[in-house]
A and B are shown apart, each in its own frame.
Chain A
Amino acid sequence: MQNRRRAGVLWVVLYLALALAPLIFMLVGERPTGREFVRELSVAFGFVGIGVMALHFVLTARIAAIKAPFGSDVVYYFHHRMAIVTLALWLAHPILLILRFDWALALLNVFQAPWRARFGVASVVVILVLVGISVWREKLKIEYVNWRIWHGILAVLAMAAVMVHAYMVGKYLGTPFKRALWLGYGGLCLAAVAYLRVYKPWQMLRHPYRVVEAKAERGSVWSLVLEPVGHHGIQFEAGQFAWLTARHSPFAVQEHPFSFASSAENSERVSFAIKELGDFTATIGQLQPGETIYIDGPYGIFSPDSYEDIESYLLIAGGVGIAPMMSILRTMADRGETKPVVLLYGSRDWEGAAYREELSDLEKQLDLHVVHVLELPPEGWEGETGFVTREMLARYLPNERPPRYHVFICGPTGMLNAVEAALLQLEVPERLIHAERFDLA
Chain B
Amino acid sequence: MRHRIASWLSWAMTGVILIAAVLVALIQSG
Contact = CB atoms under 8 A, between A and B. Distances in A.
A joins B in a complex: yes
Interface of A: 12, 15-16, 19-20, 23, 26-27, 31, 33-37, 39-41, 43-45, 48, 52, 70-71, 73-75, 77-78, 81-82, 85, 89, 420, 424, 430, 433-435, 437
Contacts of B28: 26-27, 31, 35, 40, 44
Given A27-B24, A433-B1, 15 more contacts: A15-B13, A20-B17, A23-B24, A31-B28, A33-B30, A40-B24, A41-B25, A43-B25, A44-B20, A48-B21, A52-B17, A71-B2, A82-B13, A89-B17, A424-B1
| Most chain B beta-carbon neighbours within 10 Å: one of A37, A71, A424 | A37
A26 B29 contact: no
Interface residues of B, number: 22
Interface in B1-30: 1-3, 5-7, 9-10, 13-14, 16-17, 20-22, 24-30
B24 to A, nearest CB: 5
A48 B24 CA distance: 11
Given A74-B6, A430-B1, A435-B2, A27 B27 contact: yes
6 contacts: A37-B26, A44-B25, A48-B20, A75-B6, A85-B13, A89-B17
A70 B21 contact: no
A81 B6 contact: yes
| Most chain B beta-carbon neighbours within 10 Å: one of A40, A75, A85, A433 | A40
Contacts of A77: 2-3, 6-7
A70 B5 contact: yes
B13 A19 contact: yes
Contacts of B30: 33-34
A85 B11 CA distance: 9
B27 to A, nearest CB: 7
Contacts of A20: 16-17, 20
Nearest to A434: B2
Contact of A35 (B16, B24, B27, B29): B29
B15 to A, nearest CB: 10
Contacts of B10: 78, 81-82, 85
A12 B20 contact: no
A181 to B, nearest CB: 16
Q: Which 5 A-B pairs have the closest CB atoms?
A: A81-B10, A77-B6, A40-B25, A44-B21, A41-B25
A85 B24 contact: no
Contacts of A44: 20-22, 24-25, 28
